[in-house]
Amino acid sequence: MKIYFAGSIRGGRDDGELYGRIISFLKKYGTVLSEHVGDPNLSLYGETKTSDVDIYERDVAWVEECDMMIAEVTTPSLGVGYEIGRAEALGKPILCLFRNENSERRLSAMISGNKNLKVFAYQTEDEIKDVLERFIPA
Ligand code: 6IA
């Protein structure tokens, strides 16, 4: 099972550690192609050896290769939205996780209104584990 995990990078790293914990859990089910998304040391704007063109081309190739996408969508991110759209166009199963602890923040209608996506609103990390267990085929 090849899983693409999508989570905000330049959109903001507030949930970076949470992404790391979700990725560790997902590894139980297969290979997480985009493991770097959960790297707590990922610098937002710092110098990297990889150019933006290389990042884009590598990530799109992984979206094409994956068997399913899990996206944490609480922190709004252009890149995550783009990846979801690409995966949807390819017919991949997509689960979006949204933490609805804060009533001021509402999920984009482009995600919550899309019947091709499974959107799960959660409050605790334990709920994430339960939904992943149900979403990912054994
Ligand atoms: O717009 P965002 O940066 O928030 O987009 C985040 C999404 O795009 C993630 O799900 C990643 O799969 C992908 N992505 C965006 N930037 C990178 C990246 N940058 N490396 C790998 N995947 C990326 C390297 C670090 C850079 C910020 C200096």
State pLDDT tens for residues 33-65.
Answer: 999 899 888 766 555 678 999 999 999 999 999
pLDDT tens readout for residues 12-36: 999 999 999 999 999 999 999 999 8
What is the pLDDT, as a whole number, of residue 45?
56
Cα–Cα dist 114/66, whole Å: 20
Transcribe 80-114 into DSSP letters.
Answer: HHHHHHHHHHTT--EEEEEE---TT----HHHHT-
- Angstrom distances, CA of residue 47 to CA of 13, 73, 114, 135: 17, 26, 36, 37
Mean pLDDT of the chain: 93
Q: Which residues line ligand 1 (CB under 6 A)?
A: 6-11, 34, 36-37, 42-44, 46, 48, 55, 59, 77-80, 83
Indicate which atom in ligand 1 lies nearest the CA of residue 4.
12
What is the pLDDT, as a whole number, of residue 43?
65
Best residue among 55, 78, 94 to mutate for probing ligand 1, ranked by most atoms within 8 Å of CB: 55
Residue located nearest, by CA, to atom 20 of ligand 1: 55
Residue located nearest, by CA, to atom 5 of ligand 1: 79
CA of 10 to the centre of ligand 1 (A): 6
Cα–Cα dist 51/49, whole Å: 7
What is the pLDDT, as a whole number, of residue 66?
98
The arithmetic mean of pLDDT across residues 102-116, rounded, is: 91
